[in-house]
Amino acid sequence: MTSLKDWDVVIGLEIHVQLNTHTKLFSPAPNTFGENPNQNISTICTGQPGSLPLLNEAAVEKAVQFGLAVNADISRQSSFDRKSYFYPDSPRNFQITQFFHPIVKNGYVEISLEDSVKKVEITAAHLEDDAGTLKHFSSFTGVDDNRAGAPLMEIISAPCLKSASEAALYAKEIKSIFQYIGASDANMDQGQLRMDANISVRPQGETTLRNKVEIKNINSFHFLELAINQEISRQIAIYEKDPHAVIASSTCRFDPVQKTLTVMRKKESAEDYRYMPEPDIPPLMIEEELIERLTCSLPELRRARKNRYKEQLQLSKDAAEILTEEKALADYFEEALSFCPSSLSANLLANWITIEFFGRAKEAGKHFLSTSIPEKHIGSLITLIEDKTITSRIAKSIADEMMKKPHTSPQTIVQENPDYLPMSDPAIIEPIVEKILQDHPQSIEGFKNGKQKAFSFLVGQVMKSTKGKASPEVVNTLLHKKLDSNR
């Protein structure tokens, strides 16, 4: 029985990302879906005879920006090609893609492994148009061309990923780049980012690549890891049983319900796409001026933002990692920080978001960003804590209220709820302190004998009696005063 380290895993990922341009790649129809079928269509994306593809300038710019963000070469001249295959979701029965001369080549991203940073090479990235959607019913299938012609970028990695977790890290990095440059929301629930994985396994030391199995259309990082690990195990098991076995190249689908892989087709019946230069689209020339402009306007990428959080805001590595995973979250964090007393509140704010509020959201079965709590409110909460208007404990209760009533500000919650009103007036606290001292003479003795624990106990009792509202500083001061004066 071999172990995993006897085997060299070879994984390549092809990631398809939907760009967030206003219109489709070659058609001026709106690039939005979800409406009634066949609404967002034009003569072009429905493949009407006599129609001609018109390349979207914004899609080209987003492709260039992506290339710049992954340190790639931007092809000064690239071209489009027809990829022929017949399927009902394809209005022309050919896709327009970039097979021969893609717009982006030879880039890389870095992923953080446990104790190192790995450079993942990107062979190429190109533009292509999406197909329509099929809706399956029992006696027929309905075709909807709303999505037909939507702009996609396909990013092809070198087969240099060595494990399912590396593949997931890489895919997450790609997702974050698209979010950070504002080229796509890359929302996987909405199918805006889809992954195909190519996996082969060979004994360590072998240099020739063995046949690979392709798993298509994976739409979650979790399933990506599951599917890849399953396939790795399967291939190892086959080779272990028969070292001379030849695994047929095939294409599979991952069933997320059954959590199994099913073969779609074997290589013998592989499609011949008959790639041909697209005669309707002149070669795409990218001017130096465009590259310069897009380089200057390249937004801060995740890596840079993480470093900024660590260096300038003094956040921990973990906090920076979590907050920057989704650009929307990082933006939220910074906006909330602007409502805090200063940037020194960053750590406190980070904790409150990633621990307190994340936890509450998870309990409510939601993602934090969909709780609708405005950044301003969280900022206010932090401010109230920092200027000691409320205690940490009260803040937690307020947080609970904010989850239930996201549009109510913490100040309002405090005002509406006398229980949350801070108690910092010594005149009110003093009688309570007196009472506690009377009730716990042994603690006074303990304190006199130098037991610090006794003091803490007394503080705790006062806090309990005031339901946590008493200002800890005032309690401390009063207790000290009384105990000292009692000597």
Q: Kindly identify the residues of this chain, within the stretch 53-112, that bind another protein according to CB under 8 A.
A: 53-60, 79, 82, 84, 86-88, 91-94
Binding residue for another protein, selected from 76, 119, 259, 265, defined by CB under 8 A: 265
Neighbours of 287 (CB within 10 A): 9
SS3 for 167-186, per residue? Answer: HHHHHHHHHHHHHHCCCCCC
CB of 309 to another protein, least distance (A): 33
CB of 223 to another protein, least distance (A): 15
| Interface with another protein, residue 401, by CB under 8 A | no
Binding residue for another protein, selected from 141, 190, 417, 486, defined by CB under 8 A: 141
CB of 92 to another protein, least distance (A): 5
- The sign of the CA dihedral 185, 191, 196, 197 is positive
Return the number of the residue (142 or 406) whose C-beta is nearest another protein. Answer: 142
Binding residue for another protein, selected from 3, 139, 370, 372, defined by CB under 8 A: 139
| Interface with another protein, residue 474, by CB under 8 A | no
What binding mask, one character per residue, do residues 179-218 give for another protein by CB under 8 A, x or -?
Answer: ----------------------------------------
| Interface with another protein, residue 18, by CB under 8 A | no
| Interface with another protein, residue 283, by CB under 8 A | yes
H-state helical runs in 272-365: 288-296, 302-311, 317-324, 327-337, 346-351, 358-363
Return the number of the residue (20 or 176) whose C-beta is nearest another protein. Answer: 20
CB 237 within 8 A of CB 248: no
- The sign of the CA dihedral 414, 415, 417, 423 is positive
Long-range contacts of 456-462 (CB under 8 A, 24+ apart): 461/436, 462/429, 462/432, 462/433, 462/436
Binding residue for another protein, selected from 207, 262, 342, 442, defined by CB under 8 A: 262
| Residue numbers 430-459 binding another protein by CB under 8 A | none
Tell me the number of residues near another protein by CB under 8 A.
72
In sequence order, what are the residues at sequence separation of 6 or more whose Cβ sits closer than 8 angstroms to the Cβ of residue 29?
Answer: 23, 40, 41, 42, 44, 45, 149
Instruction: Using the rule CB under 8 A, give the single segment among 272-280, 295-303, 362-370, 436-444 that binds another protein.
Output: 272-280
Return the number of the residue (127 or 349) whose C-beta is nearest another protein. Answer: 127
Chain position carrying tokens 């990631």: 15
Binding residue for another protein, selected from 30, 191, 374, 446, defined by CB under 8 A: 30
- Reading the block at residue 319, the tokens are 């906090």
| Interface with another protein, residue 28, by CB under 8 A | yes
Return the number of the residue (135 or 480) whose C-beta is nearest another protein. Answer: 135
Measure the CA dihedral 318/360/357/348, to 10°: -70
Round to whole Å and give the CA distance between 213 and 210: 10
For 441, counting Cβ atoms within 10 Å of its Cβ (0-12 exposed, 13-18 middle, 19+ buried), the class is: exposed
For 318, phi then psi, to 5°, come to -65, -45
- Reading the block at residue 286, the tokens are 């990218």
Binding residue for another protein, selected from 190, 217, 233, 260, defined by CB under 8 A: 260
Instruction: Using the rule CB under 8 A, give the single segment among 36-44, 121-129, 176-184, 365-373 that binds another protein.
Output: 36-44
| Residue numbers 298-337 binding another protein by CB under 8 A | none
Instruction: Using the rule CB under 8 A, give the single segment among 143-151, 199-207, 340-348, 389-397 that binds another protein.
Output: 143-151
Q: What angle do CA 375, 378, 381 make, to 5 degrees?
A: 150
Instruction: Using the rule CB under 8 A, give the single segment among 188-196, 270-278, 317-325, 332-340 that binds another protein.
Output: 270-278
Least Cα distance to 156 among 232, 88, 104, 80 occurs for 104
Instruction: Using the rule CB under 8 A, give the single segment among 128-136, 341-349, 368-376, 412-420 that binds another protein.
Output: 128-136
CB 220 within 8 A of CB 193: no
Which residues in 169-191 are b (16+ Cβ under 10 Å) and which e? bbbbbbbbbbbbbebbbbebeee
| Interface with another protein, residue 288, by CB under 8 A | no
- Reading the block at residue 382, the tokens are 């932090």
Round to whole Å and give the CA distance between 371 and 413: 17
Binding residue for another protein, selected from 34, 49, 205, 418, defined by CB under 8 A: 49
CB of 157 to another protein, least distance (A): 23
What binding mask, one character per residue, do residues 211-250 give for another protein by CB under 8 A, x or -?
Answer: -----------------------x---------------x
Hey, what amino acid is at 237?
A: A
Return the number of the residue (282 or 406) whose C-beta is nearest another protein. Answer: 282
